[in-house]
Structure 1
Amino acid sequence: MTATDIRPREARAQQARPVRGRTRRSPLLWLVTLLLISFAAVWIYPFVWVLSASVKGQLEVFSAGLSLLPEAFRWENYARAWVDADFGTYMLNTILVTAFTVAIVVVRCAMAGYVLARYSFLGRKFVVAVLVGTLFVPAGYTIIPVVELTQRLGLLNSLTGMVIALAGGGHVAAVLLYMGYFRGIPRELEEAAVIDGAGFGTVFFRVMLPLAGPVTATVVVLTFLATWNAFLLPLVFTFSRPELRTLAVGMQAFVGENSVDWPGMAAAATLSLLPIVALFLFLQRYFFEGIAGAVKS
């Protein structure tokens, strides 16, 4: 018997041997998979129910129980939400407020995180401690001074004042994300730029901020969600000017004194969710990379 006859037998024997680790883990793997699928189904059901309710009739929303299939698709609910409830205007207001708020928050928090991560100064640890402490302060506690300040500036009933109020908060999570990410970047990059004659602005905007792309995507998503769904501040800023309402505040248009237009509200909620889902699908990879990079640093 030659060596060439032995090798195929050994290869066949190795292929025939069962992999103990895989055999033992397969039942547990199937169980975990079923549990995750069940959890995902329970979690996604409310969203599917809203989509189903948006094309149902007023009585059918509750008479159908847990059924998701409508008797007849009533697409006029979307037309009623977009035209009659003036959600086209609310959508434009929300897009403008969210876009400017996100831009301001990204630049401001990136600068703050960069300074806290790269510069040593007296009171730095105290500033970080105060920032972390403000995470436990409810947002409603600051509504009175914010409104008072914007009123004195003459910006209370305007989109500009709303943007300043939404973007002027602490946004501590964004600052900490940038601080953790910038702390892990080698200092040689900054030193090389300084040797070439770059100042603070050039080093930050042309070297450091482009490197923080994953964190920026994370901050964009988080700020977009918070601003798009903000209710309290936009409600206060649009009391006397309903034409400046955002989508979250505009939902009240479907609530009457004696009844609620549930199909119209579901259609409006679906319209307001579409930009959020589109943005997250576009930035999801950078979103998780930014969180992982900041935590690792």
Structure 2
Amino acid sequence: MKRFIPRLFLHIALLIAGVIWIYPFIWMISASLKKNFELINSGLSLIPKEAQWSNYIRAWEEANFSGYFFNTVIITVFTVLIVLIMCALTGYALARVQFPGRKLFIVLITATMFIPKGYTIIPIYMIIKNLGLLNTLGGVILAESSGAHVLFILLFMAYFSKLPKELEESAVMDGAGFLRTFWSIMLPLSKPIIATVAIMQFIWTWNSFFIPLVFTLNKPELRTLAVGMYSFVGEHSVDWVGMAAGATISLLPVIIIFIIFQRFFIEGVSGSVKG
């Protein structure tokens, strides 16, 4: 009984904190089903007088969120694939190959975590421009996938370093080279880390605002969902309910993906740090 009461209060406190934490998202969904004047006058009320599903139709069609959604999917999928390949290869090399300056290299790439992304946007912009990929989806993909992605490299490195060396030795005896061993043996064993990195990079790329804004300034039709929120901001007014509908459309895929794959995410993080 003495333990039950403290746990009960703890659970109640956590439930209250959870409600407070999730309230803004619920309020956003509620706002997306209201009219502008009702939203302004309703305060913190969540229940709309009459659900305005037309807000979603307006956001999807008139604000071109259908096109922005397609752009976001293309950019996110290819960015995730590029980041996965780069980070997995780098993490595998750092974990399994002993070369001069390895520890120094790890320290240097880890130090790049503390460099704000805004400081690197100018060289990235110049590289994309010189490649002739400015105002293209390919340019946005390269810009999004650029950088060291140190956290992901360290996750792969920690996971690969714990795998037994006998796996590589048997692969070498069978005639497999470095890349074949990585692709056929090591990479399939790292599915939890692959899922973790894919989910995290998916969320970051899907919600990215700064890079898609900079690299699609002259082509608004290439905007992503996050940048597309500008469609609801007029010269003298803001379509708040349309913006709420657009934000709901943008966030729902992220929430669904995370709910479906959260088990793999937790397994990947715990598997890379335990031991």
Q: Measure how far apart 1:62 and its partner are.
A: 2.6
Q: Measure how far apart 1:26 and its partner are.
A: 0.4
Which letter maps to 1:76?
S
Does the residue aligned with 1:169 lie in a helix, a strand or coil?
coil
Counterpart Cα distance in 2 of 1:211 and 1:112? 16
Is residue 246 from structure 1 mapped to residue 228 from structure 2 by the alignment?
no
**TM-score of the two chains, using structure 1 as the length reference:** 0.91
Please name the residue that 1:44 is paired with.
22
Which letter maps to 1:249?
V
Q: 5 Å matches for 1:1-297?
A: 23-297=1-275
Which letter maps to 1:259?
S
CA deviations on 1:198-242 (whole Å, 9 max, x unpaired) are 111111111111111011111001100111111111111111111
Q: Measure how far apart 1:196 and its partner are.
A: 1.1
Counterpart Cα distance in 2 of 1:138 and 1:59? 40
Counterpart Cα distance in 2 of 1:57 and 1:136? 44
Does the residue aligned with 1:271 lie in a helix, a strand or coil?
helix
Counterpart Cα distance in 1 of 2:274 and 2:52? 50
CA deviations on 1:154-188 (whole Å, 9 max, x unpaired) are 01110011111111211111101101111111111
Structure 2 unaligned segments of length 5 or more: list them. Answer: none
Count, aligned residues: 275
**Rg bigger for which structure?**
1
**TM-score of the two chains, using structure 2 as the length reference:** 0.98
Does the residue aligned with 2:226 lie in a helix, a strand or coil?
helix
Q: Measure how far apart 1:292 and its partner are.
A: 0.4
Counterpart Cα distance in 2 of 1:210 and 1:190? 13
Q: Measure how far apart 1:66 and its partner are.
A: 1.1
Q: Measure how far apart 1:37 and its partner are.
A: 0.4
Q: Measure how far apart 1:24 and its partner are.
A: 2.2
Which letter maps to 2:150?
V
CA deviations on 1:95-132 (whole Å, 9 max, x unpaired) are 00000000000011000001111111111111111111
- RMSD in angstroms over aligned alpha carbons? 0.9
Counterpart Cα distance in 2 of 1:178 and 1:74? 47
Query: Percentage identity across aligned positions?
Result: 51
Counterpart Cα distance in 2 of 1:192 and 1:146? 42
Counterpart Cα distance in 2 of 1:282 and 1:174? 21
Structure 1 runs (4+) deviating above 4 angstroms are: none
Counterpart Cα distance in 2 of 1:47 and 1:256? 24
Which letter maps to 1:91?
F
